[in-house]
Amino acid sequence: MGILTILEFPDERLRKIAQPVDVVDNSIKTLVEDMFETMYAAQGVGLAATQVNVQKRIIVIDVSENKNEPLCLINPKIVNQLGSAEGNEGCLSVPGFFEPVKRAEQVLVQALDKEGQSFELQAEGLLGVCIQHEIDHLEGKLFVDYLSSLKRQRIKKKLEKIHKAEQR
């Protein structure tokens, strides 16, 4: 078990497309545990494997207030979606920035759980947003991609400045 390093925008590795998980074996289970540990330590509500430089279709989420409702989705697929809603989003890979993004209001998602069992989940509100946001990561997509290029460039420059300062 351990805390993994979270890649930050504009790291090009965040643009890689994740591959489906064939078998949910012990190495996958360990990765899922590490991802939860990393997400909780960073006080996030969701984390995709892409963000820790693993190109596998795995996301972990916990939108509960007491951080006691861990949800793991392996090979998640949105099979239906309804409506649209706009809400402020942030991302552990884009620290310090929160911007409005338009998403489906409700999604029906199919996935495997951390034991490899198939399940379906209907989600709305923060959970619905989070699922869509994390699945985007698996496609190499970030919430800043929904913003104007001017806004995205500003965020990029600010983060690059911070990254440079950290390297000194």
Looking up tokens 């993994």 gives: 4
Catalytic residue among 12, 89, 124, 134: 134
HEC sequence for 13-81: HHHCCCECCCCCCHHHHHHHHHHHHHHHHCCCCEEEHHHHCCCECEEEECCCCCCCCCEEEEEEEEEEE
CB of 68 to Ni ion, least distance (A): 21
The residues pairing with 77 across neighbouring beta strands, listed in sequence order, are 110
Cβ proximity to Ni ion: between 14 and 112 the closer is: 14
CB of 83 to Ni ion, least distance (A): 22
Binding site for Ni ion (CB under 5 A): 91
Single-letter residue type at 26: N
CB of 168 to Ni ion, least distance (A): 27
166 is catalytic: no
Q: Could you give the CA distance from residue 45 to residue 69 in angstroms, rounded to a whole number?
A: 11
Cβ proximity to Ni ion: between 29 and 141 the closer is: 141
CB of 137 to Ni ion, least distance (A): 6
Cβ proximity to Ni ion: between 61 and 91 the closer is: 91
| Contacting residues for 3 by C-beta, under 8 A, at least 6 apart | 34, 37, 38, 41
The secondary structure of residue 114, as a DSSP letter, is T
Active-site residue list:
134
